[in-house]
A = this chain, B = another copy of it.
């Protein structure tokens, strides 16, 4: 069985300016691997409508499932919802169901549902809402695109809301062997191994530590028996 393919679109200036180190991509990648969904591409774009619209269209047409993060808050630079509507030629306005969620939340907290907060109820007509147990303002899904917040705690909660509704494939299994040799001494036998196990993905991740070279060899696949077989051959080539 072929696992579904996915892409992520990170929206916002904070990563591109070097202000923030990514956390959401790392979280989502780990979750998708566990759920048997094959993350093939990530794009990071700034809070710029043409860039967002064109990336959403391209990714949505290429992969089975798209996840976005960022740009759905109440401030002037939060333009993701309008861009998603534009990408899918959908109508967008304040939606009664989203407005009711926000109204109940802010009434409970004695806060005003002002114009800024009402922006978070702007949801495309065709969208279904994604539950946000952390701060209530919902994410939403249009076609194959799941639109989520950028604040990591909220992003993670929305991922937890949406993942059980997606049909994944067999989870990607892996084993890792650390070899304390330069990649140049590993590459020959490793290439031969990869040719013998074309159903597996065999990656070499070099590192440098205390002035010495080494590499973590990661063997990935959906059949642990095959992974074990490849790992045994690798260990014969490179005894500990």
- Interface range, A side: 35 or more
CA distance A206 to B135 in the complex (A): 12
Instruction: Find out whether the CB atom of A43 lies under 8 angstroms from the CB atom of B43.
Output: yes
Please pick, from B76, B153, B202, B207, the residue contacting A187 in the complex, using a CB distance under 8 A.
B76
| A19 interfacial contact with B, CB 8 Å | yes
- Tell whether, in the assembled complex, residue B172 and residue A17 are in contact, meaning their CB atoms are under 8 Å apart: yes
Binding-face segment, A20-28, A86-94, A161-169, A225-233? A20-28
Whole-angstrom CA separation of A135 from B184 in the bound complex: 12
| Contact residues of A: prevailing secondary structure | mixed
**With A44-B42, A77-B203, A184-B74 known to touch, is A32 a contact of B51 (CB < 8 Å)?**
no
Report the copy number of this chain in the oligomer: 2
Q: Counting CB contacts under 8 A, is A61 at the interface?
A: no
Selected from B15, B32, B153, B220, the residue in CB contact (under 8 A) with A42 is B15
Interchain residue pairs with CB less than 8 A apart (25):
A15-B25, A16-B41, A17-B29, A18-B29, A18-B31, A18-B33, A18-B39, A21-B22, A40-B45, A40-B48, A40-B51, A41-B45, A74-B187, A75-B191, A76-B190, A77-B202, A111-B184, A111-B185, A114-B184, A114-B188, A116-B185, A117-B187, A119-B187, A120-B184, A135-B208
Residues of A within 8 A of B (CB): 12-23, 25-33, 39-48, 51, 73-77, 111, 114-117, 119-120, 134-135, 151, 153-154, 172, 174, 182-188, 190-191, 194, 201-208, 213, 215, 218, 220
